[in-house]
Structure 1
Amino acid sequence: MKQRAITGLFFIIVMIGSNLLGSYVFSVFYLLLSLFCLLEFYKLVKQGGMQPERFTGALAGVTLFFFFAANCYFPAYKYIILLPILLSFIPIGELYKKSEAPFTNIGFTYLGLLMAVVPFMFFHAMAFTRGDGVFNFHVPLGFLIMLWSNDTGAYLVGSKFGRNKLFERHSPKKSWEGFIGGILICAFAAYILSNFYTEYNRFDWIIMSLIISNFGTMGDLVESMFKRSLNVKDSGGILPGHGGLLDRFDGLLMAAPIVYAYLYLISN
């Protein structure tokens, strides 16, 4: 428990620091984080007997994140033509491997990009939602605070009052009581944030909290389903007492793209 608490405190400090130290630190940090999550994904898949194109997939992931992150600073979409060329190397690489299931390997290579890189691209873009190239850490930091509030609320309420299983087949410990508790505490965190971060009104922050609570939980369940399909408990051991990086960021999987889509629509 002590090790878990120390790791958790260190993790929170690093995550908050990545938001407060300026746009370049923010961009580089989440580029590296998405890369590490992708490599962790490929490692898990390899344990399941598949052989994803790790090098080409990692190169495509870094390129994908870089182009979309660079576009937050200057018009970079004209260079995106390089991405399809790079992505085509993934199936081409399978031609030179002796594999019994080449398209399974190709599919998991692409799936890694979708699960480990794309969510962080949208999370990164939250800091530039106004479209004027100005970095603002309020939304991504607020997102993390609401995500942590939801997880904490769901754990505390579920541990105390949990009786009815939410999705026992994929996550036996989750309960409807915990799910509702997470929603309420996440919404309360959004209410507090709206008093300090006034770029968006209180209603918008509450909507963001509801998206995070619902789709963050769905992302958690999808990641649990993925691990169960590979018969592994944790995605990795890089965070002692907490598992792997994918375990810590499963809430971003679906929540980040949808929160960004909501912010983009109301900002434009």
Structure 2
Amino acid sequence: MKTRTITGIFFIIVMLASLLTGHYPFGIFYLLLALFCQFEFYGLIKQSGYQPNYAAGLVNGALIYTSFAYITYSHIIQPILFIVPVTLSAIFIQELFKKSATPFQNIAFTFLGLLFTIMPFTFFHAMAYVRGDFNFHLPLGFFVMLWSNDTGAYLTGRAFGRTKLFERHSPKKTWEGFIGGMVIAGIAGYILSIYYTELEWKQWVSIAILIACFGTLGDLVESMFKRSINVKDSGGILPGHGGLLDRFDGLLIAAPIVYCYLYFINY
């Protein structure tokens, strides 16, 4: 427990520092985080007997994130974006030269790594620019509500949980915990609206509801993935917490959904 607490506090401090210190630390930190998650995902796939293309996958992951980060920062389509289709073709080309019994499974899992890990962090990064210039309020608020949902779901589930939410994939999750997490996230959203007035309280609370729903979905999907390959934790990079995918499973589906909501209410 002590190791878990120390690791958690240290990592939260680093994450908050990346948000509060400006445009470049923010972009670089979440690029590295996305690539580590992608690397972790490929490692898990490799354990299941397939051979995703690490090099091509990671290069494309960095290029996709950087291309869209450039666009969200400048609000202009950058020429670098048109390199992506060329570099993506390398995933197919390299598989032609490999001796593998499952070439298309390898290709599919390489692309799935981009979709499952890189794209969510790309959308999360874009939240900071959805209203124009860099603003850390929205990504910080996202994490505050995500953590509030997780904590609320755990506490209310432990105290009142009776009805299983999705026992086949996550035996400990309950409907009572899910509802409790949503309520706590909604309260956090309302409090955020008092200090961060770029959104109305109804919009902050709406985001909290989206995070509760799709954050929980991301958690369930990651649990389903781990059960399908018979592993408990996605990795061991965070002592006491498991892997990075374990810590950011709630972001994987929620971040793109929340970004789309923010985009449409702003335009």
Check whether TM > 0.5: yes
Partner of 1:164: 163
Partner of 1:178: 177
Instruction: State the 1:79 CA deviation.
Output: 2.5
Instruction: State the 1:77 CA deviation.
Output: 3.3
Give unmatched runs, 5+ long, in structure 1. none
**Distance between the aligned counterparts of 1:11 and 1:146, measured in 2?**
17
**Structure 1 residues 200-254: Cα deviation after superposition (integer angstroms, max 9, x where no partner):** 1001001000000000000000000011111100000011111100000000111
**Distance between the aligned counterparts of 1:18 and 1:224, measured in 2?**
28
Instruction: State the 1:143 CA deviation.
Output: 0.1
Partner of 2:123: 122
- Tell whether 2:101 aligns with 1:79: no
Matched letter for residue 140 of structure 1: P
Partner of 1:43: 43
Partner of 2:103: 102
**What is the aligned length?**
266
Partner of 2:14: 14
TM-score by length of 1: 0.98
**Distance between the aligned counterparts of 1:159 and 1:11, measured in 2?**
25
**SS of residue in 1 equivalent to 2:171:** strand
**Structure 1 residues 49-75: Cα deviation after superposition (integer angstroms, max 9, x where no partner):** 110000000000000000000112222
Instruction: State the 1:78 CA deviation.
Output: 3.0
Matched letter for residue 235 of structure 1: S
Instruction: State the 1:159 CA deviation.
Output: 1.0
**Distance between the aligned counterparts of 1:93 and 1:238, measured in 2?**
29
Q: Which runs of 4+ in 1 moved over 4 A?
A: none
Give unmatched runs, 5+ long, in structure 2. none
Matched letter for residue 116 of structure 1: T
**Distance between the aligned counterparts of 1:255 and 1:73, measured in 2?**
22
TM-score by length of 2: 0.98
**SS of residue in 2 equivalent to 1:50:** coil
**SS of residue in 2 equivalent to 1:232:** coil
